[in-house]
Structure 1
Amino acid sequence: NKRTYQQQIHSRWIIMQLISSKQDHHIQKYFPDSSISQRALWFQFDVSFGEMAGQIFLRTFDGKTITLEVSPLATVEELKALVAQREGLDVEEQRLLYKGEQLEDGCTLDDYGIERNSTVDLSTSLRGGGLGFIRIAPNLRKLAEKYNCDKKICRKCYARLPPKATNCRKKQCRSSDLRNKHKLSEGCKV
């Protein structure tokens, strides 16, 4: 009895897939005994009453696992809304990953091959990012250039040398392969 019920569910799942992709000729081939209107009603019945819905597991960033009941035709946005409802996490901050691939908002779970009992990872988008470019006051800039930038660097041992040096000052190196130290850019990235 359970097996026939699973076969019915599987056949309805195939019908649902074919209707959603608008391939009526395949529907007639696989299910010749029912009309398209009946199949459309089956499709609506399965989606609206959740017969095709299955549970997926959502692993959060702190290691907690949440069980969610969703349809395979549910969109990623709907899944994010469920997570926001359960966890109180803002939809814009959520990043859902399945098999290392980030889920895009416009796609359905079926597009990514997410089936029953699949595990989806939840992470949040990182906030922050530094202060950007900071302008250095002209007097401090000249002082920094004098003590930090107006130097030469040995290409062999990376020693910092005076601006007029011709050879490296270190006893073990004594290389003459020197370069000027890079100058400060217009803005300093912090």
Structure 2
Amino acid sequence: MDRQELLNINKNRKIEVESYHSSFDFDKYEITDENVIKEVTQTEEDIQQIGKFMAKKALEMGRKLKRIQQILSSHGTGTFVAWFNSLGLDKNMVYREINRWEQFEKYRNPAIAEASVRTLEYIKKNNDKLEEAEIVEILEDPLEAAKKIKEIEKKGKEEIEINFDEKIQKLSKKIEKAYKNIEKWEMEIKKLKSRNDDFEED
């Protein structure tokens, strides 16, 4: 096998690896026309690529907005808002993309670029509770993020319930111990009263 044949094999392997596969179930909707499947799949791939490009640019925008926010912060309250309003930028979009950039700065995870607003808000709101591995798990597949969040929340609730059970058990033991102490102290009081009565009789 010569060098050219090896190169061709490697090239073909690369094409196979990079080949895009749609997750859409064409069979379910009885779409069997190969041309339709091919065009939809190709267009889907294009849309995905555009989405990734836009996500990357959104992250870049967040970085630039954050920088301007820092620059204008020393020029009076409302200056930054006035600035982005002058550009016709939506307030929610501005702070959403700043938040995206801040999350990226914090976690250095490129998947943040493609994360949904809800996902980012969840991470921001719960960053003190979430472990880094959980954040990675949420971000690794944007389509599964909501499901992962539910799983993490469920796990958290179960842990809280376990903690409650442990606390209840500990408190029950303390109460039991307290009752025993009360009985002991009551006996001591009776003894002291008895001695006191004997002393007074003498």
| TM superposition score normalised by structure 2 | 0.28
Between Structure 1 and Structure 2, the one with more strand by share is 1
Higher RCO (CA-CA < 8 Å; seq separation 6+):
1
Between Structure 1 and Structure 2, the one with more helix by share is 2
